[in-house]
Structure 1
Amino acid sequence: MQRVLIIGGCGRIGSSIAQDIINHTEAEVTITGRNPQLGMAALERFQDKVQFQVLDLSNQHQVKTVVSKADVVVHSAGPFHYRNADVLRICIEEGVNYVDVSDQRSFTHKALEQHSAAKTAGVTAIINTGVFPGISNSMVRQGVEALDKADEIKLSYIVAGSGGAGITVMRTTFIGIQQPFEAWIDNRWQTIKPYTGRECLDFGKPYGKAHVYWYDMPETTTLQETFSVDSVITKFGSVPDFYNYATWMMAHGLPEKVLKSPKTVEFLAQVSHVMTDVSDRFTGTGVAMRCDVKGYGSEGAAHYISTFSHESASVAAGMGTGSIVELLLKGELVQPGVHPVEQALSTELFQSILKSRQLTIEKTINFLQENEQ
């Protein structure tokens, strides 16, 4: 029997990944965590369809032992701002395929540095899976392939309330607004302050128009390298809009030293978690994404737009990652090396994933007149 190890599998994202793998494969699933009580609670939720093992990532001997028994390892123990790439390195050493839900630029760079080692070892490692990044990256690939030439990629994300993703995502959000980041604009890297550039976009049903802001994501780097476009824009926002104003105030109102303090991050994450526990009852915990690709098609200048939504951000992330695991287990995705998902996953395979999980992406292409360009 094939075995899947999910590191950080007791959290909401890890649990959603486990559920998707259970739904679509016959693999034996083991989830890990540092807290035995959380592990036992997870076993009850899964009705003993998974196994649990206590695992401390700082104990590399222990990590190596559990990794060596798996066919695929999923790394979902965020926030990835604080993670090195040791789990990936151990997978390469043990010859085990690897998937993660990383959503942080520096971690992405650390992982990509191991591309040659993974290729030599015959290990397929797919990073930045999930919903955003993840499904969003494949939406971009669809858009680029729909045009003859792509010049600009823009990805915009909104999450309702907590997104059902747990406190780790709250921590990630507040870490992400701590300092300026580099964005690829007009063929050069430019410094952007997070949570600026407020913009209202139409995300389609059920959210309609919502506001987003500049936000640092690893796609800024990988999409530019994959598709060689002039600009890559990544923006994020929350529903209801109240949370955007609160986050903006944190990003622009707190002294830098205070904002970067781990104690501040933890305090803000805990307060936000309590607030969204209340608001989630009214707003839901969904996610919506919009992909804009501008360039040229058969009829001249073109603007490709696609949208995606799901009632649960955490479940959608589980589907994005679980589907990659399924393809690895079936041997349908074999690409030794370390790859962001848009490089590894063909549009044909992506469409098969959408169909098997009953997910829909709405797409349109608008051809522009000269005075509209």
Structure 2
Amino acid sequence: MTKVLIVGGTGRIGSSIAQDLLAHTDAEVVLTGRHPQRGQQAAQALGPRSQFLPLDLTEKDKLRAAIATADLVVHAAGPFHQRDTQVLQTCIEQGGNYLDVSDYRGFTRQALALTAAAQTAGVTAIVNTGVFPGISNSLVRQGVEALDQADAVQLSYIVAGSGGAGVTVMRTTFLGLQHPFDAWLDGQWQTVKPYTAREKLTFPSPYGDAYVYWYDMPEAMTLANSFPLQTVITKFGVVPDFYNRATWLTAHGLPKSVLQHPNTVEFLARISYWMTEVSDRFTGTGVAIRCDIQGTQAGETVHHHSAFVHDSAAIAAGIGAGYIAELLLSGELAQPGVYPVEQAVTTSQLLDALTRRQLSLQTPPLEARR
């Protein structure tokens, strides 16, 4: 029986990945975490093919020993703003495949720098899996493949309340507000400020009109390198809209020294999580991705539109990582090196995986633009 080690497996995202793996593979799943009681409860809830291993990422010898027993390692211990690549490096040293749910371009950049080492070791490592990034990257690949030429991409994400995720995701949100970031616009890197350029877009049911803002995501960097695009825009928003207003005030009203202080991030993450525990009862915890691509087809300017919706952002993230883990375990995905999702996973692999999970993408016909 194959064994999958999920680092950070007792969190909401890690547990969702485990659920998907247990449903779609015959693998044994080992969850790691720092809290034994919570870990034992999580493993027991998942069933007999799941077990818990107490582990702190600072315990390097114990981490190395755990990785040595696994056929695949899934890194789900965020926030990735505060992580280095030691888990990936250990996998490369020991020759084991790897994937993660990283969502920070600084981490992504460090991971991609290990491509040559992974190729030499015969290790396939996929970064930025999950829902966004992850499924979102594959939406772009699908759209690029549908056109003769793709010029501009906008990925827009909304999450209802907490998204069903834990406080770690809240920390990630506030860490992402701290610094301006580079965006690929009109063929050059330009600096933009997070949570600016408010825009109203129409998302699939049940969301309808919702507001999104500039937000730094690693796919803003990887998509610009993966495809010959002139523009890549990534925007994010929350339902209900008053959370967007509060986030905007946080990003632009607090002094930078205050916003960047770890105690501030922790306070904001916990108070936000407490608030969403209340509002989730009314809004749900779903996610919607809207992908808009401008390009040409048969000499005509066209707009390619696609979308993905799920009633739980946490479960969707588990699916987005879980199906790629399934591909790695089966040998269907074997591409030594370190890659973002759109460079490693084919459109047919994504669509087949969604079909097996009774999910689908929304892809209306191309729209001509004159």
| TM-score after normalising by structure 1 | 0.98
CA distance in 1, matches of 2:214, 2:41: 37
* Closer, same or farther: CA 331–255 of 1 in aligned 2, 3 Å: same
Per the TM alignment, residue 368 of structure 1 is displaced from its structure 2 partner at its CA by 3.0
Per the TM alignment, residue 265 of structure 1 is displaced from its structure 2 partner at its CA by 0.3
2:70 is matched with: 70
Q: Would you say the 8 A contact 1:101–1:127 is kept in 2?
A: yes
Per the TM alignment, residue 299 of structure 1 is displaced from its structure 2 partner at its CA by 5.3
1:220-259 mapped onto 2 (5 Å cutoff): 220-259=220-259
CA distance in 1, matches of 2:243, 2:337: 39
* Closer, same or farther: CA 238–146 of 1 in aligned 2, 3 Å: same
1:273-352 mapped onto 2 (5 Å cutoff): 273-298=273-298, 300-352=300-352
CA distance in 2, matches of 1:323, 1:297: 31
SS at match of 2:363: strand
1:14 is matched with: 14
Amino acid paired to 2:112: L
CA distance in 2, matches of 1:366, 1:43: 46
Q: Would you say the 8 A contact 1:6–1:75 is kept in 2?
A: yes
Amino acid paired to 2:148: D
2:195 is matched with: 195
Q: Would you say the 8 A contact 1:302–1:365 is kept in 2?
A: no
Per the TM alignment, residue 159 of structure 1 is displaced from its structure 2 partner at its CA by 0.2
Unpaired segments ≥5 residues, structure 1: none
1:161 is matched with: 161
Per the TM alignment, residue 209 of structure 1 is displaced from its structure 2 partner at its CA by 1.1
Per the TM alignment, residue 367 of structure 1 is displaced from its structure 2 partner at its CA by 3.7
1:131 is matched with: 131
* Closer, same or farther: CA 6–369 of 1 in aligned 2, 3 Å: closer
2:47 is matched with: 47
Amino acid paired to 1:231: T
Unpaired segments ≥5 residues, structure 2: none
Per the TM alignment, residue 140 of structure 1 is displaced from its structure 2 partner at its CA by 0.5
Moved more, 361-370 or 97-106: 361-370
1:103 is matched with: 103
CA distance in 1, matches of 2:164, 2:229: 34
Amino acid paired to 2:217: M
Q: Would you say the 8 A contact 1:129–1:341 is kept in 2?
A: yes
Identity over aligned pairs, percent? 61
1:27 is matched with: 27
Per the TM alignment, residue 232 of structure 1 is displaced from its structure 2 partner at its CA by 0.4
Q: Would you say the 8 A contact 2:126–2:341 is kept in 1?
A: yes
Moved more, 41-50 or 143-152: 41-50
Per the TM alignment, residue 358 of structure 1 is displaced from its structure 2 partner at its CA by 1.1
CA distance in 2, matches of 1:18, 1:270: 25
Per the TM alignment, residue 37 of structure 1 is displaced from its structure 2 partner at its CA by 1.6
CA distance in 1, matches of 2:165, 2:48: 22
Q: Would you say the 8 A contact 2:302–2:369 is kept in 1?
A: no
In the TM superposition, what whole-angstrom CA distance separates every residue of 1:191-222 from its partner, at most 9, and x where no partner exists? 10000000011111111111000000000110
1:174 is matched with: 174
CA distance in 2, matches of 1:22, 1:47: 9
Divergent runs of 4+, >4 A: none
1:82 is matched with: 82
In the TM superposition, what whole-angstrom CA distance separates every residue of 1:237-293 from its partner, at most 9, and x where no partner exists? 000001000000000100000000000000000000100000000000000000011
Per the TM alignment, residue 369 of structure 1 is displaced from its structure 2 partner at its CA by 4.4
CA distance in 2, matches of 1:208, 1:300: 29
Amino acid paired to 1:351: L
Q: Would you say the 8 A contact 2:138–2:342 is kept in 1?
A: yes
CA distance in 2, matches of 1:89, 1:194: 31
Q: Are 2:114 and 1:119 aligned?
A: no
Q: Would you say the 8 A contact 2:27–2:49 is kept in 1?
A: no
SS at match of 1:196: coil
User: How big is the alpha-carbon RMSD for the aligned residues of Structure 1 and Structure 2?
Assistant: 0.9
Q: Would you say the 8 A contact 2:40–2:51 is kept in 1?
A: no
Amino acid paired to 1:10: T
| TM-score after normalising by structure 2 | 0.99
SS at match of 1:164: coil
CA distance in 2, matches of 1:369, 1:198: 24
Moved more, 203-212 or 283-292: 203-212
2:215 is matched with: 215
CA distance in 2, matches of 1:91, 1:9: 17
1:206 is matched with: 206
Per the TM alignment, residue 359 of structure 1 is displaced from its structure 2 partner at its CA by 1.2
CA distance in 1, matches of 2:77, 2:254: 28
CA distance in 1, matches of 2:43, 2:346: 35
